[in-house]
């Protein structure tokens, strides 16, 4: 037999009990107070912080979505307004063009009328002048005829005809 030892671990030993109790109690109170509790609190706080951060991120995302929707709405509204404005502008343009055309026509008509009146006036003046000139010529002719009458009838007749032809040529 190498050693005389029995199953000694099962025998409660006052020395070991004393030291175990002392060491365990010291361990419990110091590490419990200085480490386990602060660690647990720090972990709890961090857990809380992480949850908060996640919640806030979720909220921010929701807000972002709302904002996007609002933007979308504004853009569509702006587009519609632009379309409306463009349409109005083109309408106004057409109106203006139409009015301008109308005015131009009227103006042209007036001008034509003026021109006609002028032309008539000129014509009448010209006719009056022609009449005057014909009268003058007739008088001339008559004068000349009268002077020729003194020379012969036949010759008078040729002469008058020649005069008449002259008038026609004019």
Partner 1 sequence: MSGMNIKSLLTLVLVVASVSLFAQADNHTDSSHEQAAQSENSHETDNHDDQDAHSTEGHHDECAFHHEQDPENFNPQQIAFHHIADANVYSIGPLQLPLPCILYSKESGWDIFLSNKFEFDRLGHGAGYKAFNRYVLDGGSVKRIADASFPGGSVAIEGFKHKEIVVDGKKKEEAYICYGGNEYKLDAKSTLDGGMFGGGITSFHDFSITKNVTAMILVTLFLMWMFLSIASAYKKREGMAPKGLQGFIEPVFTFMNDEVVEPFLGKKSLTYLPFIMALFFFILGLNLFGQIPFFGGANVTGSLSVTLVLAVITFLVVNFSGKKDYWQHIFWMPGVPAWVKTILTPVEMLGVFIKPLTLMLRLFANITAGHIVIIIFVSLIFIFGKVGTVPAAGYGAAVGSTVLTLFMMSIELLVAFIQAFVFAILTASYIGAAVEEHHH
**Stretch touching partner 1 by CB under 8 A, among 43-51, 72-80, 138-146, 150-158:** 43-51
Interface size with partner 1, residues (CB under 8 A): 43
Angle between helix axes 153-169 and 37-148 (nearest 10 degrees) is: 180
Q: For partner 1, which stretch binds (CB under 8 A), given 7-15, 59-67, 117-125, 127-135?
A: 7-15
CA dist 137 and 143 (Å) reads 9
57 touching partner 1, by CB under 8 A? no
Q: Assess contact for 156 and 148: CB atoms under 8 A.
A: yes
Q: Which of 36, 83, 124, 146 is the binder for partner 1 (CB under 8 A)?
A: 36
**Closest to 141 measured CA to CA, from 122, 161, 125:** 161
Q: Which is nearer to partner 1, 17 or 96 (CB)?
A: 17
Q: By C-beta, is 20 or 121 nearer to partner 1?
A: 20
Q: For residues 41 and 88, what is the distance between their CA atoms, to the nearest angstrom?
A: 69
Min dist. Cβ of residue 13 to partner 1 (A): 5
Provide the CB-side half-sphere exposure for 47 (13 A, CA): 6
Q: Put residue 95 in one of left, alpha, beta given phi > 0 → left and psi -120 to 50 → alpha.
A: alpha
| Count of C-beta atoms within a 10 Å radius of residue 163 | 17
Rule CB under 8 A: say whether 169 interacts with partner 1.
Answer: no
Residue 54, interface with partner 1 (CB under 8 A)?
no
Q: How far is the CB of 51 from partner 1 (least distance, A)?
A: 14
Which residues of this chain interact with partner 1, rule CB under 8 A?
1-21, 23-28, 30-43, 46, 49
């Amino acid at each position: 037999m190498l050693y005389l030892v029995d199953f000694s671990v099962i025998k409660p030993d006052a020395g070991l009990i004393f030291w175990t109790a002392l060491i365990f109690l010291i361990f419990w109170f110091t590490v419990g107070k200085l480490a386990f509790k602060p660690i647990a609190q720090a972990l709890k706080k961090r857990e809380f912080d992480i949850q908060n951060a996640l919640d806030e991120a979720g909220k921010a995302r929701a807000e972002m979505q709302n904002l996007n929707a609002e933007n979308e709405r504004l853009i569509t509204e702006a587009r519609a307004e632009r379309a409306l404005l463009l349409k109005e502008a083109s309408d106004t343009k057409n109106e203006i063009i139409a009015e301008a055309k109308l005015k131009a026509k009227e103006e042209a008509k007036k001008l034509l009328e003026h021109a006609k009146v002028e032309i008539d006036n000129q014509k009448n003046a010209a006719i009056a002048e022609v009449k005057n000139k014909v009268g003058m010529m007739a008088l001339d002719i008559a004068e000349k005829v009268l002077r020729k009458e003194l020379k012969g009838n036949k010759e008078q007749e040729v002469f008058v005809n020649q005069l008449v032809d002259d008038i026609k040529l004019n």
